[in-house]
A = this chain, B = another copy of it.
Amino acid sequence: MQNGIQGFLEGRYIDLSEHIQTDLHIELLKRTPSAYLGSCRFKLPEIEDNEDMYKKIFKMLSNLDIGYFFYIGGNDSMDTIKQLSTYGKMINSSIRFMGVPKTIDNDLAETDHTPGYGSAAKFIATATKELIRDAKVYGNENIHVVEVMGRNAGWLTASSALSRGEDCVGPDLIYLPEVPFDIDSFLAKVEETRWVKKSIVIAVSEGIKLKDGRYVCELISSQAQFKDSFGHMTLGGTAQYLANTITQNFGCKARAVDLSILQRCSSHMVSRVDITEAFVAGGHAVEAAFRGETGKMIIFNRVTNNPYQCTTMPYDIDKIANIEKKVPLEWLTNDNTYVSPEFLSYARPLIQAELSPIMVDGLPSHLYN
């Protein structure tokens, strides 16, 4: 399917074997940013609200002689698998529906982590490390507020802490959406840090919210508000708002850095552990479907952190879809302005090892469609 179930409904699907004919194509695919098949923001209606749409989909699947249906993605995609497998069971369809986890958000329930997260975390930690170094270049007082993706779960923002090591102090403060954000406490914490450090780097989730439930970025008067078909509001400007607030309160230089789309598409800097696991999850989904499983998603179970070992297994989609897994509150420390060693032990294995880009004429090469 191109652009997921939305493209399928429009009759847009391809035979992937025509696109991926050699092992080199597979290697390029592993290094190609974004989703080769495209994505969508289309939410299937409840079955009782629009059974006709389900009838249409199953008619199309039957016409194409589809026996196995795999859907790769995050929470929204798993909702699609849930609905389709539920309808499949209702009509006694023999089609097997399997979810394959893949989201940088790492917010799927029941699974230890999601493929995609490790690579994004590796890029975020790398960029944070480089930014921290750059911020010291003039030896002056300055504050950088780095905005990281994450609407309700702070996994990506937390990964900025991985930059801490023998050659980097890491970010000074980290704010996740798991706990209510308070502007006054934030400013007090910044002031406290200013007493001991000249160059301060703060990582914040785009989705941090006030006690009353409003996003911090909603405080920006000019902020245009868009919602997608899943009802998600477009977020943005959180770091800029906080940087402005710091300047207004302390008169010192504060700059916002939005890692923006780069954090989800920087395929030139990926984790080999992550890319390998993405393929393992896909492979296991195929194996499980052939064995007769349906209405499941492949989850990861961690055996040990060190050495890192994970196993995979299919798991009931009803217990996964529409549930967001957040960073456990016990992994937040220091007045909820940092993450614990437990988080670092959890995340560190996921960013290990590299998958070097295939460079052509000075730039990473991608699989082109």
CB of A119 to closest CB in B, whole Å: 11
Q: List residues of chain B with CB within 8 A of the CB of A262.
A: 127, 130-131, 257, 259, 262
A133 contacts B268, C-beta separation under 8 Å: no
Bound-complex Cα distance A120 to B267 (A): 17
Query: How many A residues have CB within 8 A of the partner chain?
Result: 68
Q: List residues of chain B with CB within 8 A of the CB of A271.
A: 362
A257 contacts B257, C-beta separation under 8 Å: no
Q: Is A261 an interface residue (CB 8 A)?
A: yes
Known: A2-B139, A32-B133. A351 touches B363 (CB 8 A): yes
Q: Is A193 an interface residue (CB 8 A)?
A: no
Q: List residues of chain B with CB within 8 A of the CB of A35.
A: 137
Contact of A138 among B40, B122, B139, B144 (CB under 8 A): B40
Q: Is A88 an interface residue (CB 8 A)?
A: no
Considering only residues 29-83 of chain A, those with a C-beta below 8 Å from chain B are 32-35, 38-41
B136 contacts A38, C-beta separation under 8 Å: yes
Q: List residues of chain B with CB within 8 A of the CB of A39.
A: 137-138
Q: Is A247 an interface residue (CB 8 A)?
A: yes
Name which of A148-156, A164-172, A334-342 contacts chain B: A164-172
B139 contacts A267, C-beta separation under 8 Å: no
Q: Is A91 an interface residue (CB 8 A)?
A: no
A366 contacts B167, C-beta separation under 8 Å: yes
Bound-complex Cα distance A244 to B262 (A): 20
Bound-complex Cα distance A28 to B259 (A): 25
B133 contacts A33, C-beta separation under 8 Å: yes
Closest 5 CB pairs of A and B: A134-B265, A351-B362, A167-B368, A130-B265, A33-B130
Interface CB pairs A-B, < 8 A, 30 = A3-B139, A7-B139, A33-B130, A33-B133, A33-B134, A34-B130, A34-B133, A34-B136, A39-B138, A40-B139, A122-B362, A129-B363, A130-B267, A130-B268, A131-B262, A131-B265, A133-B265, A134-B261, A134-B264, A144-B261, A163-B363, A167-B365, A167-B366, A167-B367, A167-B368, A168-B366, A168-B368, A257-B262, A258-B258, A356-B356
- Further contacts, 4 of them, CB under 8 A, given A7-B139, A125-B363, A348-B361: A41-B138, A129-B364, A130-B262, A162-B362
Which residues of chain A have a CB within 8 Å of any CB of chain B?
A: 2-3, 7, 32-35, 38-41, 122, 125-127, 129-131, 133-139, 144, 162-163, 165-168, 222, 224, 226, 244, 247, 253, 255, 257-262, 264-269, 271, 348, 351-354, 356, 359-368
